[in-house]
């Protein structure tokens, strides 16, 4: 949930659309729709063998690991938002295999108040559709990410990695591994 | 997608929250998060034997059948929104069994532009998490609904009923029946 | 995976059916179809608040905790097998809410050889469809179970409980909690 | 459900394993575990644009269309069975993307008695885990299949194609299209 740069850049804005201030107000008034993608490497039989985590520095200067995550825009399909955010974070030749079904493996509800759900985003109430997305191409961290690390499912679920993830994304990652049958 | 009366009635509105005009603008700028519930009767082994459809009159005076549907509010959990809308439409003693999992059977993307997806809502871009919800109590249509009819899965999927459903909810109903193994 | 008493007791056995010896041979030749049920208590909004675990003594005299589990019989529907095994283990008034959909939350593949998958059954290759099943009635352990304990999701996923579960059922339980959004 | 040639060809058969006659008896005594795969072509955003159907001649000389389907063998993982049957039916360079999750989109219960479920297999009680599998390579029908036809989701769900499918596979195909949001 770190796409602070993910403000709308619609080429044209019909009258009545929200201004940036309007978006900021919407963040305090409406749940915002997000997608979370867990990028994975799979073997020939589809078994997950690696999980890709972005390494970022938070505004407070702390190193953290993150999933691919971002907002769904107005008039954008969920699958197109998935593709856009994967490309934004992993580069243009990651070759993601967006799942054919819109059924997410779970729905993560990030609340501005901690403790309502296991997910937390101090900026907003975001509801995120979460998908496991195999990527077969060359992945390179973009923009604000320092690195992209490929971990085994076991490493990704380890305490050491979990503590580096924020807002409940560590849990979401473990839920993804549970879903694909690779939770240790 | 007929909850036009579903405007926010938060008891207190912190400064910076959206006004009704702001919500209207948000409807033209952001995808809004909805839930769709397909109310069903099940037998002892969980097999769906009936589907509940609301009978409504559209603003244009046309009779239509509808699922339980409505917006997720700020700081409301998806499962609480489901419960609230079921109570709003089926009454306080419907005794719904909200599924333990947040995983919806599908995600219906209602676009203001027809044809982008099979779902359409001229008022807004709404993304709806869809659930099959068994109800065991006494269901009575509330508010603007004229009637609640219990149909067999076969009847609910029939051409005659499908043409009375709007915005792609007929398809969503058939997807629900496919999910529970009761599509004819 | 402890239904050793779960041999077929069909009232009539047409010629050509397997004898008990035949079933034993089948166990070494074919994957057997099982169901696993995770019995849960839910609150009004469907959120899981308790998990039911059976307490048993293994043939080796070790205390162990187990899910409801058993074989699907010839000419038996999966949902009827679920119902039968829940009644067999939790008694006749457990009032289970078998899910309307046949889609399991996962498929657990118990191999006779350890390490092929995270699940293991030394007796056989069993493939189990796993479901979370809310129960609302009075549950009493039957037959060979000493007790039925209701734990919180957090307790059920704790190391202390996990080590008392065999064959990978501890993992399966944690997968169930991940699926319902209640994994700690 | 047409893998009559799919008898076990294990390189070694430990004592106590079922003979071919034993397998035949098992078919009358136990539910057999199957997989069904719906081969699809997807576009860059994962949306299904084509469905692959095998054209076969039944033993009675009738043309029929079929999904990829077959038995799970002893000591074989479900995902390996999926891969084996896809390769068997579509050839060695179909490049299937077996889903990372073992969660099927539905479970099809083929009963020897018609009418118990919508699926029917006169030879046996088969319980099949059904998956949608994108294929990206060159698909060529193998063995007993005359042809492999790529249809649009709309064509695949049309009455004309549905009547050429047997045992409920037409329904299973429509369930797959419902799952991926492409049912007409």
Taking only the tens place, the pLDDT of each residue in B129-183 is 999 999 999 999 987 788 999 999 999 999 999 999 999 999 999 999 999 999 9
Overall number of domains in chain D:
1
- pLDDT score at B14: 52
B12 located within any domain: no
Tell me which residue in B28, B33, B103 faces A14 most closely, judged by beta carbons: B28
D64 located within any domain: yes
Domain housing C143: 30-179
Inter-chain contact B23–A17, Cβ cutoff 8 Å? no
Band of the pLDDT at D61, cuts 50, 70, 90? confident
- Please, is C151 exposed, middle or buried when counting C-beta atoms within 10 Å of its C-beta (0-12, 13-18, 19+)? middle
Band of the pLDDT at B31, cuts 50, 70, 90? very high
- pLDDT score at A94: 96
- Predicted confidence (pLDDT) at residue D37 exceeds the cutoff of 70: yes
Residue B134: give its domain's CATH number: 3.90.79.10
Per CB distance under 8 Å, which residues of D are interface residues toward B? 106, 117-118, 171, 174-175, 178-179, 181, 183
- pLDDT score at A5: 41
Q: How many CB atoms lie within 10 A of CB A28?
A: 18
Q: What mean pLDDT do residues C117-139 have?
A: 97
DSSP H helix total and E strand total for chain A? 5, 8
A7 located within any domain: no
Measured between beta carbons, the chain B residues lying within 8 angstroms of C179 are: 101, 103
Strand partners, D64: D56
Inter-chain contact D79–A40, Cβ cutoff 8 Å? no
The DSSP secondary-structure symbol of B49 reads E
Measured between beta carbons, the chain D residues lying within 8 angstroms of A47 are: 79, 100
For chain D, give the percent of residues with pLDDT over 90. 77
B11 located within any domain: no
For chain C, give the percent of residues with pLDDT over 70. 91
- pLDDT score at A14: 52
Distance CA A134, CA D8 (A): 33
- φ/ψ of C119, rounded to 5, equals -105, 150
Measured between beta carbons, the chain D residues lying within 8 angstroms of C32 are: 30, 33
Tell me which residue in B76, B77, B102 faces A106 most closely, judged by beta carbons: B102
ipTM score assigned to the predicted complex: 0.90
B-D CB pairs within 8 A amount to: 30
Distance CA B7, CA D17 (A): 67
Tell me which residue in C45, C103, C132 faces B83 most closely, judged by beta carbons: C45
Q: What mean pLDDT do residues A146-167 have?
A: 96
**SS3 labels along C71-119:** ECCCCCCHHHHHHHHHHHHHCCCCCECCCCCCCCCEEEEEECCCCCCCE
D7 located within any domain: no
pLDDT digit string (tens) for C49-100?
A: 999 999 998 888 888 999 999 999 999 999 999 999 999 999 999 999 999 9
B3 located within any domain: no
Measured between beta carbons, the chain C residues lying within 8 angstroms of A153 are: none
- pLDDT score at A155: 98
- Predicted confidence (pLDDT) at residue D11 exceeds the cutoff of 70: no
Band of the pLDDT at D70, cuts 50, 70, 90? very high
Q: CB neighbours of A81 closer than 8 A, spacing ≥ 6?
A: A35, A70, A71, A72, A73
Determine the length of chain A: 184
pTM, full prediction = 0.92
| Lowest mean pLDDT across A9-13, B101-105, C54-58 | A9-13
D17 located within any domain: no
Q: What mean pLDDT do residues A68-80 have?
A: 97
Measured between beta carbons, the chain B residues lying within 8 angstroms of A33 are: 30-33, 127
CB B72 within 8 A of CB B78: yes
The two beta strands, A119-120 and B68-71, are unpaired
Q: Could you tell me the CA-to-CA distances from A91 to A41, A53, B96, B133 in Å, in that order?
A: 16, 14, 45, 41
3-state secondary structure of A119: strand
Report the mean per-residue pLDDT for chain C: 90
Q: CB neighbours of B158 closer than 8 A, spacing ≥ 6?
A: none
- pLDDT score at C26: 83
The two beta strands, D126-134 and D106-111, are antiparallel
CB C117 within 8 A of CB D77: yes
Measured between beta carbons, the chain A residues lying within 8 angstroms of D132 are: 100-101
For chain A, give the percent of residues with pLDDT over 70. 90
B7 located within any domain: no
Q: Which residue has the higher pLDDT, D28 or A108?
A: A108
| Lowest mean pLDDT across B41-50, C173-182, D10-19 | D10-19
Inter-chain contact D132–A179, Cβ cutoff 8 Å? no
For chain D, give the percent of residues with pLDDT over 70. 90
- pLDDT score at B113: 95
- pLDDT score at A28: 85
- Predicted confidence (pLDDT) at residue B86 exceeds the cutoff of 50: yes
Q: What mean pLDDT do residues C41-48 have?
A: 98
Interface partners of chain B (CB pairs < 8 Å, 3 or more) are A, C, D
CB A48 within 8 A of CB A153: yes
For chain C, give the percent of residues with pLDDT over 90. 77
Q: Which of A158, A139, A157, A162 is nearest to A149 (CA)?
A: A139
């Amino acid at each position: 949930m770190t796409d602070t740069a993910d403000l709308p850049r619609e080429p044209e804005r019909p009258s009545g659309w929200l201004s940036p201030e309007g978006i900021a107000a919407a963040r305090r008034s409406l749940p915002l729709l997000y997608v979370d993608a867990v990028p994975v490497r799979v073997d020939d039989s589809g078994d997950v063998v690696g999980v890709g985590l972005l390494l970022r520095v938070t505004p407070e200067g702390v190193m953290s690991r993150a999933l691919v995550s971002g907002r769904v825009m107005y008039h954008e399909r969920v699958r197109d938002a998935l593709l856009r955010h994967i490309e934004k974070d992993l580069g243009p030749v990651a070759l993601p295999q967006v799942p054919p079904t819109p059924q997410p493996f779970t729905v993560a509800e990030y609340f501005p108040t901690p403790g309502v759900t296991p997910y937390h985003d101090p900026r907003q109430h975001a509801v995120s559709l979460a998908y496991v997305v195999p990527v077969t191409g060359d992945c390179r961290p973009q923009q604000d990410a320092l690195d992209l690390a490929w971990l085994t499912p076991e490493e990704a679920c380890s305490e050491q990695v979990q503590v580096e993830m924020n807002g409940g994304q560590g849990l979401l990652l473990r839920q993804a591994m549970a879903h694909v049958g690779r939770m240790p």
